[in-house]
Structure 1
Amino acid sequence: MPALADVEAAVRQVGLAVDAPELHGGLCGWLAGGGALAPAWPAQVLVDASLPAVEPDGALDRLGRASAAQFEDRDFGFELLLPGADASLVARSGALFGWCRGFLGGFGLAAGAAPPLSDEGREALSDLARLAAATPQDDGDDDDEQALAEIEEFVRVAALLIHGDCVLAPRHRQQFH
C-alpha cells in the first residue's frame, strides 16, 4: 500500500475533487460491490470519464493493486488509507467519515440498487452510511481515541463483510455449479 502522502500528491497532480482517504474508500466500495480493477478505475469510481488512466506503477496504480490484493487476502490484511496516530483526532475522524462516504458511492456504482447482501451486510452498510453522515469533533480525550480505533476496526471488518457477500460468495457459488 502506498503511503498516504504519496496518494495525496497523486490526487492533487491529477486534480481530483476528493482527498486520498475518500478516494480509497470509493475504490474499496467499487471493489466490494464487484467492480473490476482497471487502469481507468478513478474515472469509474468518481464517475468522470475525463479522468486519465492511472500511471503504471504510480501511487494510484499501486493503491488499486494493493487494495484489490488485500480484499483477496485470506488473513484479512485489509487496511484503510487514513492519517496516522500523529494526526489530530478531528483529522483522523474526518478522514474516516470521508472514507465511508467514498465507500458508499463506489459500492453503489458497482453493486447497483439490489446488491446480494446478507442481513449482516445490510446492517454493516447502514452503519457505514451513518458514519458517512457524521461530523468530526474538534477535540477529544483518551475515550474518544479508543472509540475512533474501534470504529476504524468496525469499518475495516464491514468492508470485508460486504466484499464477501457481493464478490466472494457469488464466486464460490459459481465454483460449485
Structure 2
Amino acid sequence: MPGWTEVAQAANRLALASSPAELHGSLCGWLAAGGADVADWPAQVMVDSALSTPVAGDALDRLRRASVEQLRDPDFGFQMLLPEDAAVSVRAMELFAWCRAFLGGFGLALGQATLSEEAQEALSDLANLGGAQLDEGEQDDDEEALAEIEEYLRMAVLLLHADCVLGSQQRQRLH
C-alpha cells in the first residue's frame, strides 16, 4: 500500500480536497458495501464525474488495488491508511475523518442490502467514532487506546465487507 505522503501528493495532482485518510476511508466504505472495483474510483466515491481517473500504477491506483486485496485477505490483513509519524491526537483526528469518509462511501454503494445485527452494530460504532472529537485536555500519550480502536475498526470493516460482499457471493453460489 502506498504511504501517506505519496497518496497526499497524488491527491493534490488530481486536485482532490481530501486527506489520504478520507480518500482511503471513502474507498474502503465503497468497496465494503459492494461498490465496483473501478479505475475511476475517485469520481465514483466522491460523486463527481469531472474528477480525473488516476493513472495506472500511481499511488491512488495502487491504493485501490491494495485495498481490494486487503479486504479479501483471508488472514485479515486489512489496514487503514493513517499518518504514522504524527502525534496521537493527529492520528486520532485522522481516524475520525477516516470513519466519516467510510460511512459516505458505504452509503453510496450499499443499495438495498440488509445488514446482519452485528454489521448494524459495527456501522453504528463507525458512526459514533466519525462524530467523535478529542477533549482539549487529552494527552498525546494514549497510544494503547488508539491501537485498540484501530484494531476494533479493522475488524468492523472486515465484518461489514463480509456481510455485504462475501455473504452475497456465497448466496449466489448456492443458487
Q: Distance in 1 between matches of 2:140 and 2:11?
A: 32
Q: Distance in 2 between matches of 1:109 and 1:141?
A: 34
- Percent pairwise identity: 55
- Corresponding residue number in structure 1 for 2:6: 6
Across the aligned residues of Structure 1 and Structure 2, the Cα RMSD in angstroms comes to: 1.2
Report how far residue 115 of structure 1 moved.
2.9
Q: 1:120 aligns with which of 114, 118, 121?
A: 118
Q: Distance in 2 between matches of 1:111 and 1:53?
A: 22
- Which letter does structure 2 place at the counterpart of 1:21? A
Of residues 7-16 and 161-170 in structure 1, the stretch that sits farther from structure 2 once superposed is: 7-16
- Corresponding residue number in structure 2 for 1:140: 139
The 1:98–1:141 alpha-carbon spacing in structure 2 relative to 1, beyond 3 Å, is: closer
- Unaligned residue ranges in structure 2 (runs of 5+): none
- Which letter does structure 2 place at the counterpart of 1:174? Q
Report how far residue 89 of structure 1 moved.
1.4
Residues 128-157 of structure 1: CA deviation (Å, up to 9, x unaligned): 001001113454154x22111111111111
Normalising by structure 2, what TM-score?
0.95
- Unaligned residue ranges in structure 1 (runs of 5+): none
- Which letter does structure 2 place at the counterpart of 1:122? Q
Q: Distance in 2 between matches of 1:141 and 1:66?
A: 30
- Tell me if the contact between 2:40 and 2:53 (Cα under 8 Å) persists in the aligned partners: yes
Report how far residue 53 of structure 1 moved.
0.8
Q: Distance in 2 between matches of 1:90 and 1:12?
A: 24
- Corresponding residue number in structure 1 for 2:37: 37
- Corresponding residue number in structure 1 for 2:107: 108
Q: Distance in 1 between matches of 2:135 and 2:66?
A: 31
